[in-house]
Amino acid sequence: MKVNKAEIIISAVEEAQYPSDELLEFALIGRSNVGKSSFINAMINRKALARTSSQPGKTQTMNFYLINEMFRFVDLPGYGYAKVSQKEREKWGQMIEKYLSIRENLQCVLLLVDFRHPPTRDDIAMYQWLKHFQIKTAVIATKLDKVKRSQHQKNKKMIKEDLQLNKGDALFTFSAQDKTGKEEIWQFLEDILKT
């Protein structure tokens, strides 16, 4: 997809702030620092529309990005970051869960996992939760540029097995640094937008 226009619509913390139109949405989920905000920037060719940081816990609100006035990426706060307070963590958890469970605009969750490591316990729990609620999911393994080519097949197999990935759920590898995987993922998203 050629992205001509990308803008942030709102940083929301509650349902009342969600955009009220019927545009389709793709939500980015994953642990803190996995690369959710970087993924959005890479996909839309912007350096820093979504704020990124080498410190986990950067994104703390649900950020709705309107793309080509046609659909939205929703950047959600990451999970599994130990340094936020228990109270803060619960607040984020509820915020994410609420969005995922009630949002009719949501077409597909893009669950980001780090390609370098086995999925975390939180990754596995999140995937199971999504499947329990029958939410369409694609898994995107990030930071591909940091993994030697000789490891690629082994790590893909590890992710599929550890998550017990459903046959119907896609697994992509992606690098926000060199943009590998971008075209395949756009193709996948465009197919959903067309239906």
Shorter beta-carbon distance to ligand GTP: residue 93 or 164 = 93
Quick one: which of 68, 6, 12 has its CA closest to 40?
6
In whole angstroms, give the CA distance from residue 104 to residue 90: 23
Q: Is 37 in the site for Mg ion (CB under 5 A)?
A: yes
Are the CB atoms for 114 and 139 separated by under 8 Å? no
Q: Is 88 in the site for ligand GTP (CB under 6 A)?
A: no
Q: Is 36 in the site for ligand GTP (CB under 6 A)?
A: yes
The interface partner of residue 175, options being Mg ion, ligand GTP, none and the CB cut-off 5 to 8 Å by kind, is ligand GTP
Q: Is 137 in the site for ligand GTP (CB under 6 A)?
A: no
For residue 123 the two structure tokens come to 């990754």
> 């996992």: which residue's tokens?
113
Are the CB atoms for 18 and 12 separated by under 8 Å? yes
Q: Is 173 in the site for ligand GTP (CB under 6 A)?
A: no
Shorter beta-carbon distance to ligand GTP: residue 87 or 194 = 87
Q: To the nearest whole angstrom, how small is the minimum distance from the Cβ of residue 16 to ligand GTP?
A: 23
Q: Is 59 in the site for Mg ion (CB under 5 A)?
A: yes
Are the CB atoms for 79 and 121 separated by under 8 Å? no
- What are the start-end ranges of the E strands in 53-143? 62-67, 71-75, 106-114, 137-142
Residues 6+ apart with CB under 8 A from 124: 162, 163
Query: Which residue of 58, 72, 143, 182 would you call a contact of Mg ion, by CB under 5 A?
Result: 58
Contact range with ligand GTP by CB under 6 A, out of 19-27, 47-55, 83-91, 116-124: 47-55
The interface partner of residue 176, options being Mg ion, ligand GTP, none and the CB cut-off 5 to 8 Å by kind, is ligand GTP
Give the footprint of ligand GTP on this chain (CB under 6 A): 30, 32-38, 52-54, 56-59, 77-78, 142-143, 145-146, 175-177
